Every structure is written in C-alpha cells, then in structure tokens.
Amino acid sequence: MTAIDATSLTSLLDGRYAGVRQDVRKALAERADLLDEVEELPRAEYRERVREVLLDVSASGLTGLGFPKEYGGGGDVGASIAAFEEMAGGDLSLLVKSGVQFGLFGGAILQLGTERHHDRYLADIVAGRLLGCFAMTEHGHGSNVAAVATVATYDPATHEFVIETTREDAYKDYIGNAACHGELAVVFAQLVVGGEERGVHALVVPIRVDGTAAPGVRIEDDGPKMGLNGVDNGRLWFSGVRVPRTSLLNRFADVTEAGEYVSEIESAGRRFFTMLGTLVQGRVSVGGAAIRASEVALTIAVRYALRRRQFEASSDAEESLLLDYGQHQRRLLPLVARTYAMRFAQEVVRDDLHDVFSGVSTSEHARRELESRAAGTKALATWHATRTIQECREACGGAGYLAVNRFTALKADTDVFTTFEGDNTVLLQLVAKGLLTGYSSEFEEMDQLDLVRFVAGLAVETVLERTAVHKLLERVRDVVPIAGEREPDILDSDYHLTMLRFREEHMLAGVARRLQSGVKAGREPGAVFSTVQDHVIGVAHAHVERLIHEAFRAKVRELPEGAVRDLMDLLCDLSALSVIEADRAWFMEHGRLSSERSKAIIAEVNRLCRELRPHARLLVDGFGVPEELLRAEDLLG
C-alpha cells in the first residue's frame, strides 16, 4: 500500500461539510483550556462557564446553521448536524447545552411553531440572547411521551391556556437549561379544549423572569449528575400558569379564539407522531456526537498503544509495544473499523435528514424511513460509544483513570446518550415496528398491543413482502450460502452483505410467526409481546447492522482505485466480519455457517487486525481530532 496522508482520510470522513467541521475544530482548539478548567470547577461555576463559552461560540454562527437565514441562521440543516457532531470533540456539557438551546428548544419553535413564533423568538434564540428549555420528559414518563400528565386547558373566557401539573410524578424532569438559565420552555402537555382531550401539544411558557421562577412555576435543580455537570438540568412544576392562546405552537394544530380545535391532520395519533417527528434531528445529532466521542477515545488509546511498552514478548532485550500484542489489536482495531463504518452510516442518515427537512424529499414514507433510520443509528452509535470508551480506558490502564487523560469526562458525559433523545431499547422497538408494518401510515398510531394484533392479522409473507430487504434479497438469494456448501470468498463484500440481509429477513419472519402463533394460541397480546421482545429488539439490531454495512460498502465503491480505497476495503471487511463473528452462533443455528467456516471467520478477523496494525496511527489520525483536544500528554508522549 502506498503511503497515505492522514488528511486524505479526514477529507473522506468530513465529506461535504469539511469547511464547517474545520471551523468547529478550530473553535474548539482555541477554547481547549475549557477542558482543563472545568475539571476542578464547582458545579455552579461550571454551568456559568459553559454558558459563557456557548454564547461566545454562537457568535461565530456555528451553532445556528440549521435556522433560516432571515433569523441569523445558516439555512443548512445538514451542516448544522455536522457542526454539532464535531463539537463532541470538546467539552460535552458545551455540546449538550448547545443541543438543548439550538436543537431542542430552538428546533421546537422552528418546527412546531409558525411565523408568529419565528418572528418573535428565533433571532434571539439563534443569537443566544434568549435561552430556553424543551420540557417534554416527565418524571413518571420518560419514553412514553404520549402518556404525559401535564395538562393545558383552554379558557375561552380569557383566550388563555392554563397549564397544570396534574399528578405527583408529572413534573418535567431532567430538563436542560431549567435549573438556571432558561427563560422560556416549550412545554408538552395534554391539550384540553372545550372539555375534550386532544392529545399532546407544545406551548411556549415563560418559566423565569429576571432570574426567578415565573408565577405558578416551581423549579428545582436536578443536582449533581454522573456527567454533563456543566448543563443545568432541572424540574418544573406548573400550577395554574396562564399563557395566551397564541403560545400554542400551531403548525400542526390550533385553537381558535372561540375555542375551536382545528388541525389538518385528522388522527390524533398521527398528529402526535408528526410532532414527535421533529425529534428526529435530536436523535441524528446525538448519534453523530457519540461517534465523535468514540473517535477521541480511540485516538488516545491507539496512540498510547503505539508508545507504551510492557513485558518482553518479541525479544528478550526489549519490551513490546502494546499494539504488537494480538489481544490488544483485537481490543482496539475492530472498534476503529466499526467507528469508520458508523461514520459513513451517520453520513447517510444526516443526508436523509437534510433532504427531508429541506424539502428535497417530501414523501411521508421517506420521513418514516428517516425516523426509523435515525432511531436505529442513534441506538447503535451510542452503545458503540459506551463500549468503545470503556475499552479504551481499560486499554490505557491506570493512566486512563486520571481525569487529565480525558476518559473520565468522555465516559461520564456520554453515558446518558444511550438514554436521552429516546431510550435505546425503546428506539429499537420503534425500528422493528417500522419493519413489521412496512412503514405504513397506520403504524405511527400503533402501540405495542396494536402492533401485535396488526401483525397477527397478516400472513408472514405479507409482512416480508412489504420490506425492502425482501426485495433486495430476492435478487441475491442465490448467493446466500448454505452451511458447508459453496463457500464464497471470506472477504467477498457481497457475501457479507448477503449474510446480513439473510439474517434480517429471517429474523423478521420469525418475529411475525411468533407473534401470530402466540395470538392464535389465545394468549394475551401483551404477554405475547413480552415473550417475543428479545426477537423484536434482535431484528431491529440486525436491520441497522445491515444499513451500517451497506453505507460503508457504498462509500468504498465510490472511491477511486488506489491506496485509500484499498485501506477502506480492509476496514470494511474487518467491520463486517466482526459483526458476523459476534453473531456467528445465530448463523450456525440457522444453517448459514458451518463450524469450520465460523472458525475461519475468527481467524480472518485476527489476520485483518494484524494486516491493519501498521496503519493504526494513520487511521486514528484520519479522525482529525486536534492535538489541543486530546490532552493526555502523558499518554501520547
């Protein structure tokens, strides 16, 4: 392989947003002191410092890229996600506070509001003059947003909504910007108009005036957290809080002065999911940030492994480099490969998001597929980050435990990524629901019980025929190997893809069959769902793995012949074979892998690790994390 410059890998990863990414990297590098500084700051000062730096960064325009230009934004949704992802190279409280302010709060005003809200708030939000909250989650209801128990009742006499926390556990919880800095909150509440319940809607509610809680609003601090202590999360209670009728974010539904509820979307369930659909940006953002955090961790751990020697292993005279140990290669290199794969998969979902939110893709089906892909990519990317950062910490031994070496913050701050913007397990169920229903328009309104009943009413073939993977599989069915027969080349990318597609379709059919037989046997749909749940999660997992591999493969294929392509080809093989290896039991159980072939895959993963070993430094340098952000001087030498 001819020499490759790390910057060519960085360009490949940066793609169309190279300029924006470089700007963010520069902005973070200039403020790298923040990483040292906040380590010792008490919580209150940490929060103030993060606010200060956030406003400073905002002034450069890098946090407002997703807003329309007329309000001071950049008018480029994709660029705003790319910038956010890149911000995860720095202090993650800064990242998350930015996400709360510009993604969730600002995003809700933009997506759920109309001109009157835009004109009134957006310029101030983009400039950071007006900080706000996204008050959706309640203490008693995290993932099940449809069940929130905050109520907004329309009072036709005064043309106001009255906001009320109706149950002990219905206070809004974990709300960023709530404890200190937020003046407004977008509050999600059950709308009651003329005595009729209309489902969850969002309203703009002032929560703080001149630094103290607005009348009727009670605010509590969530206190110290595992990480992200630079973000002021808090709790909100509402007691008879009155806001004008025009506070309702009325893009999808409105209430007239006379108290008439109007909406172009007839079904309450669909209206709710349309509103929730605006959350998709948050999910795409968190997934991308998780990948970036993994890149920082891997850069440190790989560079340490290329400097640190321990025990004489290759000669009696000198201790060996950690990365010359087979086990150490196994720990780190498949994670590097996977991180490249995730990065390309993230690119696809980011582009899809851009197209849907910029009006390039307008079909409802495209939007539903985007939501599913965003949910699935977020889940796998954030679990990947948790796993990768942990492995990297352990691979740096005791030194990895010192705060100066970054793993402390990376671990603690990213830990909640698997939970917020949708619990990963719940998100994978959403992915499975899409698969099982072929992203039909009805699916948005189904809960778990409806889903069981729906699937039980279809033939398994019908379930399968509606899925894209089925159509793809038909074309390649001939090449799905049967264990022991016709073994394709172990490095054949078609083979990898076929295996992943086969697994997905087979699991999907299995879930449909189990749901049906459970219902036919007369068992309660809820009990049936509980029993089949691990398969439901499994099929979603398999689906997203296939999408990730397809993204990596497509990226490799569009590269010109040459050293970069050859290297990416190796990485793509390692990534795909690691996935197959991890689930090789399943492939054997389903007759698609002989025991010999299975062992050959393990050996091939080891061999690929050895082959990639000389390129390890190049591969992490390709992530383009500025030296200033790595800290860890001691680890990097």
- Annotated active-site positions, please? 421
Residue 143 or 493 having the CB closest to a copy of itself: 143
Among 173, 352, 545, 573, binds a copy of itself (CB under 8 A): 173
Residue 43 or 565 having the CB closest to a copy of itself: 43
Binders of a copy of itself among 301-320, rule CB under 8 A?
A: 310-316, 319-320
Q: How far apart are alpha carbons 324 and 337 in whole angstroms? A: 18
Taking each helix axis from N to C terminus, what angle separates 563-582 and 525-558, rounded to the nearest 10 degrees? 160
The secondary structure of 544-611, three-state, reads: HHHHHHHHHHHHHHHCCCCHHHHHHHHHHHHHHHHHHHHCHHHHHHCCCCCHHHHHHHHHHHHHHHHH
Residue 463: which of 431, 436, 439, 488 has the closest Cα? 436
For position 457 contacting a copy of itself by CB under 8 A, the verdict is no
Residue 345: which of 194, 547, 197 has the closest Cα? 547
Q: To the nearest whole angstrom, how small is the minimum distance from the Cβ of residue 137 to a copy of itself? A: 7
Please give the C-alpha separations between residue 337 and each of 59, 186, 295, 333, 605, in angstroms, as whole numbers. Answer: 36, 40, 11, 6, 11
For position 462 contacting a copy of itself by CB under 8 A, the verdict is no
Binders of a copy of itself among 395-424, rule CB under 8 A?
A: 397-404, 407-408, 411-412, 415-416, 418-420, 423-424
For position 533 contacting a copy of itself by CB under 8 A, the verdict is yes
For position 527 contacting a copy of itself by CB under 8 A, the verdict is yes
Binders of a copy of itself among 604-623, rule CB under 8 A?
A: 606, 610
Q: To the nearest whole angstrom, how small is the minimum distance from the Cβ of residue 465 to a copy of itself? A: 26
What would you measure as the largest C-alpha separation in the chain, in angstroms? Answer: 89
Among 260, 264, 494, 589, binds a copy of itself (CB under 8 A): 589
How wide is the angle at C-alpha 185 spanned by C-alphas 180 and 186, nearest 5°?
150
Among 250, 294, 386, 437, binds a copy of itself (CB under 8 A): 386
Binders of a copy of itself among 220-239, rule CB under 8 A?
A: 222-227
Residue 230: which of 316, 116, 101 has the closest Cα? 101
User: Which range in 69-77, 279-287, 585-593, 614-622 contacts a copy of itself by CB under 8 A?
Assistant: 585-593
Binders of a copy of itself among 55-74, rule CB under 8 A?
A: none
User: Which range in 61-69, 86-94, 140-148, 349-357 contacts a copy of itself by CB under 8 A?
Assistant: 140-148
**Joined tokens for residue 47:** 């929060």
Q: Is 288 left (phi over 0), alpha (psi -120 to 50) or beta?
A: alpha
For position 513 contacting a copy of itself by CB under 8 A, the verdict is no
Contact 374, 355 (CB under 8 A): no
Q: How far apart are alpha carbons 173 and 71 in whole angstroms? A: 30
Among 584, 615, 616, 619, binds a copy of itself (CB under 8 A): 584
Task: Give the pairing of strands 160-165 and 234-244.
Answer: antiparallel
Q: To the nearest whole angstrom, how small is the minimum distance from the Cβ of residue 403 to a copy of itself? A: 4
Contact 56, 112 (CB under 8 A): no
414 phi, psi to nearest 5 deg = -85, -10
Contact 201, 275 (CB under 8 A): yes
For position 164 contacting a copy of itself by CB under 8 A, the verdict is no
For position 83 contacting a copy of itself by CB under 8 A, the verdict is no
For position 517 contacting a copy of itself by CB under 8 A, the verdict is no
**Joined tokens for residue 59:** 């002034």
621 phi, psi to nearest 5 deg = -60, -30
For position 326 contacting a copy of itself by CB under 8 A, the verdict is yes
For position 325 contacting a copy of itself by CB under 8 A, the verdict is yes
What residues form DSSP beta bridges with 401?
none
User: Which range in 142-150, 264-272, 291-299, 548-556 contacts a copy of itself by CB under 8 A?
Assistant: 142-150
Q: To the nearest whole angstrom, how small is the minimum distance from the Cβ of residue 527 to a copy of itself? A: 6
Q: To the nearest whole angstrom, how small is the minimum distance from the Cβ of residue 182 to a copy of itself? A: 18
Q: Return all residues near 434 (Cβ < 8 A) that are at least 6 apart.
A: 368, 369, 371, 372, 443
Residue 368 or 631 having the CB closest to a copy of itself: 631
Contact 121, 108 (CB under 8 A): no
Which 8-state DSSP code applies to residue 197? E
- Burial zone of 565 (CB within 10 Å; 0-12 exposed, 13-18 middle, 19+ buried): middle
Q: To the nearest whole angstrom, how small is the minimum distance from the Cβ of residue 630 to a copy of itself? A: 17
For position 448 contacting a copy of itself by CB under 8 A, the verdict is yes
User: Which range in 177-185, 443-451, 466-474, 564-572 contacts a copy of itself by CB under 8 A?
Assistant: 443-451
| Residue where the block lists tokens 């005036």 | 209
Residue 124 or 319 having the CB closest to a copy of itself: 319
For position 199 contacting a copy of itself by CB under 8 A, the verdict is no
Identify the helix (H) or strand (E) that includes residue 175: strand 172-175
Residue 119 or 589 having the CB closest to a copy of itself: 589
Among 360, 591, 627, 633, binds a copy of itself (CB under 8 A): 591
For position 509 contacting a copy of itself by CB under 8 A, the verdict is no
600 phi, psi to nearest 5 deg = -65, -35
For position 465 contacting a copy of itself by CB under 8 A, the verdict is no
Contact 91, 30 (CB under 8 A): no
Residue 415 or 444 having the CB closest to a copy of itself: 415
Contacts with a copy of itself by CB under 8 A: the residue count is: 81
For position 363 contacting a copy of itself by CB under 8 A, the verdict is no
Q: Of how many residues is the chain composed?
A: 637
Binders of a copy of itself among 283-302, rule CB under 8 A?
A: none
Residue 188: which of 209, 203, 176, 168 has the closest Cα? 203
Among 37, 124, 324, 445, binds a copy of itself (CB under 8 A): 324
Among 69, 475, 520, 599, binds a copy of itself (CB under 8 A): 599
For position 321 contacting a copy of itself by CB under 8 A, the verdict is no
Residue 48 or 319 having the CB closest to a copy of itself: 319
For position 174 contacting a copy of itself by CB under 8 A, the verdict is yes
User: Which range in 47-55, 99-107, 388-396, 620-628 contacts a copy of itself by CB under 8 A?
Assistant: 388-396
